């Protein structure tokens, strides 16, 4: 074995273990805190009504239904969608996000119809259209219940919400999903921390054994 070859094993273990420790720390501490902060912001927001959409620039939370004012997209009955393409990578078939169709969307809340500016993101959906075996369109259709988080860019009789995130859910179910995301991140973080620690310990043990072997050779 060459002079430097003996250090290959501890070097590899360290090179793999350190990123695991870093990723584990982020998943265990940083990500859950960020999700928790977002959950607190959402929890504090009241569900908007026709009478409360009057402060331009304010964050807004809507619970409503996709209005029948919306036109069908090129993939009816969807009016907005995310498109996924099935591809083969590393000898496995996987669904990959390809593009979004997110034109102006009209959402009906009690007593008012609200315009959602084009360019919103669809966080979760309830409807699907399949095109063959390699393309899938997941989106919204008329009367689907939706939760909208965004900023009120136009107030008054014809309110408009900009920079929106839309999910096929309610405020209550969204908060439950955020709690699940926190728990998942913590468990993954703990797993990565344990794996990283074991790899670093293995590297330390390898260095010790190499050092003992070198001492005996002297």
pTM: 0.79
Please, what is the average pLDDT of the chain? 89
Cα angle 64, 164, 109 (rounded to 5 degrees) comes to 15
Check if the beta carbon of residue 166 is closer than 8 Å to that of residue 123. yes
Residue 153 scores a pLDDT above 70: yes
Residue 160 confidence class, pLDDT cut points 50, 70, 90? very high
- Give pLDDT, residue 199: 87
- Tell me how far apart the alpha carbons of residues 150 and 118 are, in angstroms, rounded to a whole number: 12
- Give pLDDT, residue 6: 67
- Give pLDDT, residue 205: 84
Sheet strands (E) in the chain:
59-66, 78-89, 92-101, 105-109, 112-116, 121-122, 127-131, 135-141, 145-154, 160-167
Residue 112 confidence class, pLDDT cut points 50, 70, 90? very high
Could you give the domains of the chain?
35-170 (2.40.50)
- Give pLDDT, residue 158: 92
- Give pLDDT, residue 168: 92
Average pLDDT value for residue range 209-214: 73
- Give pLDDT, residue 92: 85
- Give pLDDT, residue 3: 56
Residue 210 scores a pLDDT above 80: no
- Give pLDDT, residue 5: 63
Average pLDDT value for residue range 101-126: 95
- Give pLDDT, residue 217: 62
Task: Please write the tens of the pLDDT for every residue from 73-103.
Answer: 999 999 999 999 999 887 788 899 999 999 9
- Tell me how far apart the alpha carbons of residues 148 and 105 are, in angstroms, rounded to a whole number: 11
């Amino acid at each position: 074995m060459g002079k430097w070859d003996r250090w290959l094993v501890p070097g590899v273990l360290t090179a793999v273990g350190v990123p695991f420790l870093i990723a584990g720390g982020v998943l265990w501490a940083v990500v859950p805190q960020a999700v928790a902060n977002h959950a607190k912001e959402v929890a504090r927001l009241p569900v908007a009504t026709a009478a409360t959409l009057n402060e331009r620039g304010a964050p807004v939370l809507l619970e409503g239904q996709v209005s029948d004012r919306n036109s069908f997209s090129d993939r009816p009955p969807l009016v907005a969608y995310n498109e996924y393409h099935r591809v083969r990578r590393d000898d496995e078939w996987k669904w990959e996000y390809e593009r979004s169709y997110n034109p102006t969307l009209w959402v009906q809340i009690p007593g008012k119809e609200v315009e959602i500016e084009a360019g919103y993101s669809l966080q979760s959906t309830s409807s699907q259209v399949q095109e063959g075996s390699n393309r899938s369109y997941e989106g919204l259709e008329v009367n689907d219940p939706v939760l909208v988080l965004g900023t009120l860019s136009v107030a008054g009789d014809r309110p408009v919400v900009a920079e929106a995130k839309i999910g096929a859910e309610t405020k209550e179910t969204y908060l439950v999903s955020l709690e699940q995301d926190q728990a998942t991140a913590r468990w993954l973080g703990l797993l990565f921390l344990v794996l990283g620690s074991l790899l670093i310990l293995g590297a330390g043990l390898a260095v010790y054994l190499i050092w003992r072997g070198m001492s005996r050779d002297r």
